Amino acid sequence: MQEKSMMFYMIRSELEDAVGVENVSTKEIERAVYSVDYFWLSRKWQDAGKQGPMPDIIVRPGTTEEVSKVMKIANYYKIPVTTWGGGSGSQGGALPVAGGILLDIKRMDKLIELNTEAGYVTCETGMIFATLEDLVNEKGYSVMHLPSCMTCCTVGGALAHNGIGILSTKYGKMDDMCLSLEVVLPNGDIINTLPVPKHSSGPNLIPVFVGSEGTLGIMTKAKFKIVRQPQTRIHHAFLFSDIHVGYQACREIVQAVKPSIVRLFDEAETVSIIKKIIGFEKRGSFLNLTLEGYEKIVAAELEIVMDIAKKYGAEDLGTEYGEKWFQNRITFFYPDHIMDLPQMFGTLDTVATHDNIEKIYWAMKAVVEDNFKQYGVRFISHSSHWYDWGAMNYSRFIIDNPPKDPEEALRVHNQIWNAGVRAALANGGVLNDHHGVGLKLSRLVKEQYGPALQVLQALKKELDPNGIMNPYKMGL
Amino acid sequence: MISQNALHHAEKCRFCWMCRHLCPVQHQTGKELNTPRAKGLLLSMVHKEAQQFDKDMAQAMYECLLCDACTNDCATGYQPPLFIREARTEAVVSELAPESVMHLIDNVERTGNIYGVEKPGFGREGTDVLVYIGEAAAVKAPEMAENLLKLLEKAGVSAKVLEKEPASGVMLGDLMGYTEEVRQMAAVCAKALNETKLPVVVLDSYDAEIMTQKYPEWGFEIAAGVTTATAFTAKLLAEGKLEAKAPLGVTGACHDDDRLARTFHEFEPVRRMAKAAGYDLTEMFNHGKLAKSCGTAVAWGYMPELVTRIAGGRWTDLTRIGCDTMLVANPETWQCLSLCVPEGCRLVDLFGALL
């Protein structure tokens, strides 16, 4: 689209008619704001004084009907549409790399229904997740989705990449919490998934859209289950001799009881991040674990946890460090605590069954440390989301002095990602656990799915034949 | 364009989204531009010559209440209002500030207040304290000012008010940053206050902020000390110079004004006043240090429609918890919340409630 063409103004006028003049903007500074999200590369680009990808028009719909109108216009003119919630994604998923329309949904932030008796809450997806949690907390309940980005992500953003929160081991991911969705399809049609998520009435539609990162439609309303705030929540920390023993113990714990938090740190992260934030000084593999619910059940679960920890020779660190970690769980992500430029960094999170997860840890560590030692790369990891069948690794690479030239830095960055992700794929892992694919990993989607990708391609072709939804993302 | 210190804060905030949920302007507009990170990012882009500081950017720097919730939430201590305020100086100096803002600046330079009217006088003689009424109270909440003075009289405090009370400089400081003009205005005010040799009781916490935070930095501290009217009233209650009233059987929630909450971290005196006035207390979400702003007098001056919506958001916070009585002790919050009192709700001036 050329800004100076008559057609540009014709389309802008149509969009203004759909959502109101005040909710359409082509101002340079507003467009520039959307050129940087939480993706390291977009930040590096900005830091180097280079202009990142900008949309041509920003549109801020206030209702589902307005979203529908915008999509009908975009689909007719075949204009790319990138949906933006909080912009706090780390994978470049919200970057408007194809220009076109940037659909910022934050005006759609209404609470629709809070039903404590039935146990659900329905809201528009432009609501900041922390706001939703606050509103539910006011009634003594919780969605129990507490990610680190909670204060800045929208509900839609969390759904789009199938996000996860720190209490996931007990309460699950977004796709476990979501009961139903309203979605605007690329052709502008408004659809609803079935009223409940579990049934034998045909394939469930929720997973089609949750995790699809804005490539198949725009989720405009969501219903989530809510639970009563727990009667008790206790934190306990342990120290294992090494990560290998830690993996074994945690597997046994999650197959026996249902903790809300299980965070096992490798030796490198124990002596760096954990030491810095909560002041824990010893060497080994640190675990903080949280149990919550009814006091009687929690007491019984704790007893089992203590037995398993003892069996694996863990040092009992008591409640202090676990509580400290919980209190500081967001502190890790503020400036000067979290990694930042000029460092190069990335989170190679993946998930696998219990028999593979440790293999992936060692394979990824080796491939990163061995192949990129000339850059002084560091590798740290923790495992923070567990299932009875497996666990995830939240492995990070950090380079303190990466190449200054942004194009060279991009090349090194992608080489590390390629190597790390391929190590996961070769050992039974997947591209990503909970940050999504976005632009960052789009090129690797084909390697992950193989011929199975045609299922997603067929969906994409049918739902979005003009390919306007979040182009170049998700490998679609 | 902005100082190295302000730029450092902008560069730290440009990639951080953590305080977004507390920004009342972002909540009401839904604009990504209206987040501290966006404003920091833009100033960083200007520094790197990737963007120009133009009229649109200047306008963006005024879509902020300077409420400081972002600073108070930051685990590291970065301060978005620091770079936003300095960007406003650049906007004014470069003649890029919105006309609505320039109009207010003209008003302040002409009359000392954004309203462009001669400040009503509350002058009286007294020997114990000097009460500083302030611009917002004098023009927009004169009943609150009168109520404070009556309350002091009731407590046996001999209160003096200057016949011609100079402006503190806070309004101009919010509009154009801490420039030489603001410093000169503050110097005149400090001189007048110091000449009385009396401790100063300040009704508007916005005035109290500049007097306690900036005046000393500029070299003209108020020698006899500055106390907020709320803290002073609570002290009178504690000393038994004011009597508590019988319970009213009414539940109310205190709205913590931005600067009292954020600069002074003063929460208890207002609640003590409310209890003494006979109210049962409940709390809105985001009260205390992270209280959601309901707008400011200055912001109302150049974006009245948005401030009315922001104030409406605070009323929504109140009614959502099943309460209908908002308790305030600040003339600026009184002014903003008065813009849109929902049917069936009450806005209560706590100084008046204690009479």
- List pLDDT tens digits, range A8-29: 999 999 999 999 999 999 999 9
CATH number, domain at A266? 3.30.70.3450
Please tell me the distance from the alpha carbon of residue A432 to that of residue A91, in angstroms, as a whole number: 10
Which tokens is B204 given?
């508007």
Which tokens is A433 given?
């656990």
The strand pairing partners of A178, in sequence order, are: A224
A149 touches chain B (CB under 8 A): yes
Same domain? A127 vs A85 = no
List, for residues B117-159, the tens digit of each pLDDT value.
Answer: 999 999 999 999 999 999 999 999 999 999 999 999 999 999 9
Same domain? A386 vs A359 = yes
Q: Domains along chain B?
A: 4-96 (1.10.1060.10), 129-234 (3.40.50), 244-353 (3.40.50)
pLDDT of A276 = 79
Interface touch A51/B50, C-beta < 8 Å: yes
> Which residue reads 């194809």 in tokens?
A98
Same domain? A71 vs A120 = no
Nearest CA in chain A to B46: A49
Nearest CA in chain A to B20: A152
Interface touch B20/A29, C-beta < 8 Å: no
User: Residue A317 belongs to what H/E stretch?
Assistant: strand A315-318
Nearest CB to B33 within list A33, A51, A109: A33
Interface touch B76/A337, C-beta < 8 Å: yes
Confidence of residue A3 (pLDDT cuts 50, 70, 90): low
Instruction: Provide ipTM, 2 decimals.
Output: 0.95
The whole-number average pLDDT for the span A452-463 is 97
Same domain? A224 vs A131 = yes
Interface touch B20/A38, C-beta < 8 Å: no
Q: Is residue A52 part of a domain?
A: yes
Interface touch B42/A149, C-beta < 8 Å: no
pLDDT of B244 = 97
Nearest CA in chain A to B52: A29
The whole-number average pLDDT for the span A357-365 is 98
Select from A18, A156, A31 the least CA-distant residue to A76: A18
Rounded to 5 degrees, φ, ψ at B190 are -60, -40
Please tell me the distance from the alpha carbon of residue B208 to that of residue B229, in angstroms, as a whole number: 9
Interface touch A49/B50, C-beta < 8 Å: yes
Interface touch B51/A135, C-beta < 8 Å: no
Please tell me the distance from the alpha carbon of residue A89 to that of residue A11, in angstroms, as a whole number: 29
The whole-number average pLDDT for the span A88-109 is 97
Give the CA dihedral B272, B275, B281, B284, nearest 10 degrees.
Answer: -40
pLDDT of A309 = 98
Confidence of residue B250 (pLDDT cuts 50, 70, 90): very high
In percent, the amount of chain B with pLDDT more than 90 equals 99
Which tokens is B303 given?
């974006």
B267, with CB counted inside 10 A (0-12, 13-18, 19+), is middle
List, for residues A182-196, the tens digit of each pLDDT value.
Answer: 999 999 999 999 999
pLDDT reading at A72 higher than 80: yes
Which of 242-301 (A) contact B at CB < 8 A? none
User: Residue A235 belongs to what H/E stretch?
Assistant: strand A232-240
Q: Is residue A155 part of a domain?
A: yes
> Which residue reads 């299922």 in tokens?
A455
Interface touch A130/B32, C-beta < 8 Å: no
Confidence of residue A272 (pLDDT cuts 50, 70, 90): confident
Number of neighbours of residue B29 by Cβ within 10 angstroms: 20
Sheet containing strand A101-104, edge to edge, reads A24-25, A57-59, A101-104, A81-84
B290 touches chain A (CB under 8 A): no
List, for residues A41-67, the tens digit of each pLDDT value.
Answer: 999 999 999 999 999 999 999 999 999
The whole-number average pLDDT for the span B32-44 is 97
Select from B319, B318, B296 the least CA-distant residue to B308: B296
Same domain? A193 vs A250 = no
* Domain edge (last residue) among A187, A209, A228: A228
CATH number, domain at A210? 3.30.465.10
Tell me how far CA of residue A13 lies from CA of A7, A24, A29, B33, in angstroms.
10, 9, 20, 22
Which tokens is B159 given?
């209160």
Rounded to 5 degrees, φ, ψ at A453 are -60, -25
Which tokens is A337 given?
């605590």
pLDDT reading at A148 higher than 80: yes
Same domain? A274 vs A210 = no
Burial code (b: 16+ CB inside 10 Å, e: under 16) for B92-125 equals beeebbbeebbebbebbeebbbbbeeebeebeee
Nearest CA in chain B to A49: B48
Chain B residues within 8 A of A149 when measuring between CB atoms: 17
Among the residue ranges A198-207, A321-330, A413-422, B258-267, the one predicted with the least confidence is A321-330
pLDDT of A465 = 98
Nearest CB to B321 within list A33, A50, A138: A138
The whole-number average pLDDT for the span B13-42 is 96
Select from A95, A96, A227, A105 the least CA-distant residue to A155: A105
The whole-number average pLDDT for the span B211-216 is 98
Nearest CB to A32 within list B51, B76, B285: B51
CB B255 within 8 A of CB B288: no
Burial code (b: 16+ CB inside 10 Å, e: under 16) for A24-56 equals bbebebbbbbbbbbbbbbbbbbbbeeeebbbbb
Select from B140, B71, B133 the least CA-distant residue to B298: B140
Q: Is this model's pTM higher than 0.90 or not?
A: yes
pLDDT of A278 = 79
Number of neighbours of residue B158 by Cβ within 10 angstroms: 13
pLDDT of A145 = 98
Number of neighbours of residue B238 by Cβ within 10 angstroms: 12
Interface touch A128/B14, C-beta < 8 Å: no
Side chain identity at residue B124, one-letter code: R
Number of neighbours of residue A432 by Cβ within 10 angstroms: 25
In percent, the amount of chain B with pLDDT more than 70 equals 100
CATH number, domain at A384? 3.30.300.330
Cα three-residue angle B87-B91-B96, rounded to 5 degrees: 150
* Domain edge (last residue) among A105, A135, A161: A105
Q: Is residue A473 part of a domain?
A: no
Same domain? A83 vs A158 = no
pLDDT of A280 = 83
Chain A residues within 8 A of B38 when measuring between CB atoms: 33
Same domain? A159 vs A204 = yes
> Which residue reads 């009460």 in tokens?
B131
Mean pLDDT of chain A: 96
Which tokens is A70 given?
């915008």
The whole-number average pLDDT for the span A152-170 is 97
Question: What number of C-beta contacts closer than 8 Å exist between A and B?
Answer: 113
Nearest CB to B78 within list A51, A137, A335: A335
pLDDT reading at A1 higher than 60: no
Number of neighbours of residue B165 by Cβ within 10 angstroms: 23
Side chain identity at residue A4, one-letter code: K
Q: Which residues contact B322 (CB under 8 A, 6 or more apart)?
A: none
A22 touches chain B (CB under 8 A): no
The SS3 call for residue B142 is: helix
Q: What is the DSSP letter of A221?
A: E
Q: Is residue A332 part of a domain?
A: no
List, for residues B302-326, the tens digit of each pLDDT value.
Answer: 999 999 999 999 999 999 999 999 9
Domain, as residue range, for A180: 111-228
A230, with CB counted inside 10 A (0-12, 13-18, 19+), is buried
Same domain? A221 vs A122 = yes
Interface touch B50/A46, C-beta < 8 Å: yes
Rounded to 5 degrees, φ, ψ at A121 are -135, 140
A96 touches chain B (CB under 8 A): no
Side chain identity at residue A203, one-letter code: P
Please tell me the distance from the alpha carbon of residue A168 to that of residue A332, in angstroms, as a whole number: 18
Same domain? A394 vs A416 = yes
Rounded to 5 degrees, φ, ψ at A154 are -95, 165
Q: Is residue A92 part of a domain?
A: yes
Please tell me the distance from the alpha carbon of residue A75 to that of residue A473, in angstroms, as a whole number: 18
Which of 76-135 (B) contact A at CB < 8 A? 76, 78
B146, with CB counted inside 10 A (0-12, 13-18, 19+), is middle
Q: Is residue A466 part of a domain?
A: no
Confidence of residue B204 (pLDDT cuts 50, 70, 90): very high
The SS3 call for residue B149 is: helix
CB A148 within 8 A of CB A332: yes
pLDDT reading at B87 higher than 60: yes
Which of 168-187 (B) contact A at CB < 8 A? none
Nearest CB to B16 within list A84, A138, A335: A335
Interface touch A334/B15, C-beta < 8 Å: no
The whole-number average pLDDT for the span A419-423 is 98
Nearest CA in chain B to A110: B27
What end-to-end distance do the CA atoms of chain A give, in Å? 22
Q: Is residue A451 part of a domain?
A: no
CATH number, domain at A101? 3.30.43.10
- Is beta strand A190-192 parallel, antiparallel or unpaired with respect to A178-184? antiparallel
Which tokens is A22 given?
């005040």
List, for residues A113-126, the tens digit of each pLDDT value.
Answer: 999 999 999 999 99
Sheet containing strand B346-349, edge to edge, reads B279-282, B250-254, B325-328, B346-349
- Is beta strand A390-399 parallel, antiparallel or unpaired with respect to B129-132? unpaired
A113 touches chain B (CB under 8 A): no
Same domain? A128 vs A64 = no
E strands, A15-155, are 24-25, 57-59, 81-84, 101-104, 111-115, 120-124, 141-142
E strands, A343-403, are 344-347, 350-353, 378-383, 390-399
Mean pLDDT of chain B: 97
Interface touch B56/A149, C-beta < 8 Å: no
User: Looking at CA atoms only, how far is residue B335 from chain A in angstroms?
Assistant: 26
Number of neighbours of residue A305 by Cβ within 10 angstroms: 23
* Domain edge (last residue) among A228, A246, A268: A228
pLDDT of A274 = 80
> Which residue reads 């000029």 in tokens?
A342
Number of neighbours of residue B169 by Cβ within 10 angstroms: 28
Please tell me the distance from the alpha carbon of residue A347 to that of residue A148, in angstroms, as a whole number: 14
Chain B residues within 8 A of A331 when measuring between CB atoms: 75
Which of A19, A27, A33 has the highest number of chain B CBs within 10 A, making it the mutation to test binding with B?
A: A33
Number of neighbours of residue B43 by Cβ within 10 angstroms: 29
Nearest CB to B45 within list A46, A108, A131: A46
Q: Is residue A132 part of a domain?
A: yes
The total number of structural domains in chain A stands at 4
> Which residue reads 């685990």 in tokens?
B75
Please tell me the distance from the alpha carbon of residue A23 to that of residue B40, in angstroms, as a whole number: 23
Same domain? A242 vs A318 = yes
Please tell me the distance from the alpha carbon of residue A165 to that of residue A126, in angstroms, as a whole number: 18
CB A354 within 8 A of CB A388: no
